Amino acid sequence: MSDLRNDALDIIDYSIKAVLPDNAVKEAIKKRKLPDKIVLVAIGKAAWRMAKAAHEIVGDKIKSGVVITKYHHSQGKIGDLKIFEAGHPVPDENTIKASSEALKMVSNLSPEDTVLFLVSGGGSALFEVPQEGVTLEDLTGVTNQLLRSGADIVEINTIRKRLSAVKGGRFALLCKPAKVLALVLSDVLGDRLDSIASGPAYPDSTTWEDAIRIIQKYGIQLRPELLKVLKNETPKSLDNVETEIIGSVSRVCEVAAERAKMLGYEPMIFTTTLDCEAREAGSFIAAIIREVVTSSRPLKKPCALIFGGETVVHVRGNGKGGRNQELALAAATKIEGLREVVIASVGTDGTDGPTDAAGGIADGNTAQKLKKKGINIESALANNDSYHALDAVGSLIKTGPTGTNVNDLIIALCK
């Protein structure tokens, strides 16, 4: 079984390395003739790595710049760029301090200037200046409610952008009359540009009516004043922005399939838009595994089933975990006793929920090992405590910050 686990971890490691943003950023910049005056603004979990790549190509043209990333995701100085670390998935005081610095840098620019805007997942929390009448406490309160509600990322960002002075296309307006070149690593299913990092430099397709529906759907509690702010309309068109997506979950799944084939498995990419409840996804993927084992459908062994996307968790307990860990733990009960099968689920950014793990891995022996430790899987899931359960049997996957962020990758192997 250890060989199978090693193969799953090998595929994950290989796939993530293949979609690191370094080369993608460099290629996108090389094919353009950028002016001699550039302001660089990089936001998100991959911001440091994207900024480093850009600096290596056009560092002599950058007159000022700021990098805003998650705590522990910076890897040191990059020329004269100002580097900030801030809160994620909930903004904090450092978020506003860093974002305000970015706004200073893009104020009073000329039509000859270009803002090189490097965007990656996590930008919604890491790039924030509240709208007038909105406080940091408002933002953290609303964000926490949304994260616990089971709302998907598009719904969450629909609310976030309307409480923000920089999201929903508003940052691009603040850069005028300068042009904005946005290079984007997508962490949103379907690569919806107005939702990636809440679309600071992209026209917003949502309306205030959408926002109100989401608030009502999930029972989000807001001060009456915030309901008024939600009705402030976002820009629906922008004439100073060019945008390119340079990485996505589709690519990481394609690379995973290539690597699985190299290792002797017949691969199949089932979907790159998995977006259901995490534990339901774990049970569903386990059901497919059982079908393969018992009936050789839809693939014959040895095979690799590949899924990309971003599941959700309704947080009802007070345990520790993340969606990938919850998926793996839920799968463990459904593949109990099966030989030569493994399911691994990770966040490509190296962090899953508010934990130091990227995700989890389960095989046919995991459930039995948990029972021997006195751990009840259903109780752990009910308390959203997948981290401690998986940790007890050596089934957490820890990669550390990877430098990229293109949703989640799930690998299921059958030998």
Tens of pLDDT along 174-229? 999 999 999 999 988 888 899 999 999 999 999 999 999 999 999 999 999 999 99
Cβ atoms of 235 and 204 within 8 Å: the answer is yes
Q: What is the DSSP letter of 131?
A: P
Cα separation, 197 vs 350, in Å, equals: 18
For residue 244, the surrounding DSSP H or E stretch is strand 241-247
pLDDT of residue 47: 95
163 has pLDDT over 60: yes
Q: Which of 361, 347, 358 is nearest to 395 (CA)?
A: 361
Fold of 2-15+250-414: glycerate kinase, domain 1 (3.40.1480)
The mean pLDDT of 142-168, rounded to a whole number, is: 92
1 has pLDDT over 80: no
Residues near 2 by Cβ (< 8 Å), separated by ≥ 6?
none
- 21-30 and 47-58 helices, crossing angle to 10°: 40
Among the residue ranges 77-86, 149-158, 200-209, the one predicted with the least confidence is: 149-158
The mean pLDDT of 62-78, rounded to a whole number, is: 96
Q: Tell me the pTM.
A: 0.79
- Return mean pLDDT, the chain: 95
Q: What is the DSSP letter of 176?
A: T
pLDDT of residue 405: 84
Q: Which of 94, 157, 160, 135 is nearest to 225 (CA)?
A: 135
pLDDT of residue 303: 98
Cβ atoms of 170 and 179 within 8 Å: the answer is no
pLDDT of residue 121: 87
27 has pLDDT over 80: yes
Cα separation, 83 vs 67, in Å, equals: 5
DSSP H stretches of helix in 152-222: 153-162, 170-175, 208-218
The mean pLDDT of 356-385, rounded to a whole number, is: 97
85 has pLDDT over 80: yes
- Ranges for all domains in the chain classified under CATH 3.40.50.10180: 32-247
pLDDT of residue 147: 87
pLDDT of residue 190: 84
In three-state secondary structure terms, 120 is coil
Superfamily of domain 32-247: Glycerate kinase, MOFRL-like N-terminal domain (3.40.50.10180)
In the chain, what is the greatest distance between 2 CA atoms, to the nearest angstrom? 67
pLDDT of residue 5: 96
pLDDT above 90 covers a percentage of the chain that reads 90
pLDDT of residue 131: 95
Q: Which of 192, 102, 108 is nearest to 156 (CA)?
A: 192
- Ranges for all domains in the chain classified under CATH 3.40.1480.10: 2-15+250-414
At 320-344, the pLDDT tens digits run 999 999 999 999 999 999 999 999 9
